[in-house]
């Protein structure tokens, strides 16, 4: 807000000098006139999430920041999944202009473009700090918009919140060694599901609303879904005796803010800057907030007598090799230039950042 007022003040002062030094009163008048000229805008944003979820809170936090930074002139009404369209229909709704904006997870758009998961989460690859750095300062954000343009989507996209690693599994049996995974009835979507099929896992895909009863009835042996805090809200620990780590399938989880491109382009440049800054501030705030919530969730599981299991390091390395080989083969098979360039970019960054981190960051334990 201070920066916005400063910019307005400077512009007003320059204008005053151009017309012949009208004095302090003239400068204040120009400032007030510039602020008054900003239009009142009201948008509707729908999320993929239910009211009360931490993920829905990301969109609410973003909207509040936009409102505050604009002095109440740019209001975004946030609606939960199903309020206007289905939770997974928000991209299409924003593309058509049925809604102005949405908050979702880019991994859902694999059918629209194969590169989509790179901007959500990559199995056994970029961790939260790495993924954030790649997106904001190593070309990821530019590749992100390029992907949407190539997919023919009439939307502007940007990172819209991030969490730490997701829970690998709520399970009714330990999953530590490779043999534990063979034949396991496990819910896993996307790339991770494809990788596990090749390792002998009985992969299935069920919507989130069906996971609790599926675990309870033995239809599933184990499931992934989200972070410890979000999973706690779902109550999976009530019907599964084990939790498994680390978050191999999603070492980080980035979410997406999307805006109808026509509506976005009509905004004053100042409002576009407000959107950028509000999205980045929300991403940092919700990242740190979710970390604390995840720690509290793990404590809660332990207090409830839930047993922790941890995938052995050598098994993790084997799974990483399998996962990256699967993606590499898929990139070659599809022959999509954007898919290939994005995979090359994240791999180059991973190598460079890993070397940097190994040299610069002290050991923890």
Tens digits of per-residue pLDDT, 123-135?
999 999 999 999 9
Indicate if 257 and 240 belong to the same structural domain.
no
Indicate if 272 and 218 belong to the same structural domain.
no
- Judged against a pLDDT cut of 80, whether residue 5 lies above it is answered with no
Across 284-305, average pLDDT: 97
Indicate if 148 and 202 belong to the same structural domain.
no
Domain count, the chain: 2
Read off the pLDDT of residues 71-116 as tens digits, 9 standing for 90 and up: 999 999 999 999 999 999 999 999 999 999 999 999 999 999 999 9
Read off the pLDDT of residues 30-51 as tens digits, 9 standing for 90 and up: 545 556 689 999 999 999 999 9
Read off the pLDDT of residues 176-219 as tens digits, 9 standing for 90 and up: 999 999 999 999 988 999 899 998 999 998 888 899 999 999 99
Q: Where are the beta strands (DSSP E) in 149-237?
A: 155-163, 169-171, 185-187, 202-204, 222-223
Q: Is 363 within the bounds of a domain?
A: yes
Rounded to two decimals, the pTM is: 0.87
Indicate if 144 and 282 belong to the same structural domain.
yes
Element holding 24 (H helix, E strand):
helix 23-37
Indicate if 190 and 294 belong to the same structural domain.
no
Q: Is 62 within the bounds of a domain?
A: yes
What pLDDT band is residue 66 in, cutting at 50, 70 and 90?
A: very high
Can you tell me the distance from the alpha carbon of 101 to that of 43, in angstroms, rounded to the nearest whole number? 7
User: 225 among the known binding-site residues?
Assistant: yes
Can you tell me the distance from the alpha carbon of 291 to that of 228, in angstroms, rounded to the nearest whole number? 9
User: 27 among the known binding-site residues?
Assistant: no
3-state SS class at 127: coil
Read off the pLDDT of residues 239-267 as tens digits, 9 standing for 90 and up: 999 999 999 999 999 999 999 999 999 99
Q: Note the pLDDT of residue 364.
A: 84
Indicate if 245 and 256 belong to the same structural domain.
no
b vs e for 266-291, b when ≥16 Cβ sit within 10 Å of the residue's Cβ?
ebeebbeebbeebbbebbeebbebbe
Indicate if 217 and 284 belong to the same structural domain.
no
User: 166 among the known binding-site residues?
Assistant: yes
Q: Is 23 within the bounds of a domain?
A: no
Residue 293: partners with Cβ closer than 8 Å, 6 or more residues away: 54, 227, 228, 229
3-state SS class at 314: helix
Indicate if 67 and 140 belong to the same structural domain.
yes
Element holding 347 (H helix, E strand):
helix 337-360
What CATH number does the domain containing 176 carry?
3.40.190.10
Report yes or no: 235 and 212 within 8 Å, Cβ to Cβ.
yes
Q: Is 15 within the bounds of a domain?
A: no
Q: Which residue has the tokens 């805008």?
A: 41
Lowest mean pLDDT among 22-36, 147-161, 196-210, 322-336: 22-36
Q: Which domain holds residue 209?
A: 169-249+308-331
* Residue 70 phi, psi (nearest 5): -95, 5
Q: Is 224 within the bounds of a domain?
A: yes
Q: Is 33 within the bounds of a domain?
A: no
3-state SS class at 179: helix
- Judged against a pLDDT cut of 60, whether residue 28 lies above it is answered with no
Q: Note the pLDDT of residue 65.
A: 99
Q: Is 358 within the bounds of a domain?
A: yes
Q: Look at strands 41-47 and 222-223 and give their pairing.
A: unpaired
């Amino acid at each position: 807000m201070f920066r916005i007022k400063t910019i307005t003040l400077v512009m007003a002062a320059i204008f005053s000098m151009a017309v012949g030094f009208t004095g302090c009163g003239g400068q204040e008048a120009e400032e007030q006139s510039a602020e008054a000229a900003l239009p009142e805008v009201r948008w509707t944003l729908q999320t993929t999430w239910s009211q009360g979820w931490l993920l829905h809170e990301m969109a609410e936090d973003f909207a509040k920041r936009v409102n505050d930074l604009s002095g109440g002139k740019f209001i975004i009404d946030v609606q939960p999944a199903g309020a206007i369209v289905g939770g997974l229909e928000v991209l299409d709704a924003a593309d058509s202009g049925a809604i102005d904006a949405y908050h979702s997870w880019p991994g859902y758009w694999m059918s629209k473009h194969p590169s989509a998961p790179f901007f959500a989460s990559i199995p056994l690859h970029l961790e939260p700090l790495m993924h954030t750095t790649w997106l904001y300062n190593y070309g990821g954000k530019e590749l992100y918009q390029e992907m949407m343009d190539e997919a023919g989507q009439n939307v502007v996209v940007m990172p819209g919140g991030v969490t730490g690693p997701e829970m690998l599994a709520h399970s009714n049996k330990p999953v530590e060694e490779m043999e534990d995974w063979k034949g396991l009835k496990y819910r896993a979507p996307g790339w991770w599901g494809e990788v596990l099929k090749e390792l002998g896992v009985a992969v299935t895909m069920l919507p989130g609303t069906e996971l609790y009863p599926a675990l309870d009835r033995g239809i599933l042996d184990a499931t992934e879904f989200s972070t410890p805090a979000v999973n706690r809200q779902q109550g999976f620990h009530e019907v599964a005796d084990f939790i498994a780590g680390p978050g191999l399938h999603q070492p980080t989880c980035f979410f997406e803010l999307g805006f109808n491109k026509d509506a976005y382009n009509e905004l004053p440049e100042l409002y576009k800057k407000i959107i950028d800054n509000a999205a980045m501030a929300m991403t940092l705030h919700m990242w740190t907030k979710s970390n604390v919530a995840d720690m509290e969730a793990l404590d809660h599981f332990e207090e409830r007598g839930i047993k922790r299991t941890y995938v052995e390091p050598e098994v993790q390395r084997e799974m990483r090799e399998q996962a990256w080989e699967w993606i590499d083969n898929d990139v070659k098979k599809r022959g999509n230039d954007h898919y290939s360039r994005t995979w090359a970019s994240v791999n180059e960054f991973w190598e460079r950042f890993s070397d940097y981190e190994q040299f610069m960051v002290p050991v923890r334990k």
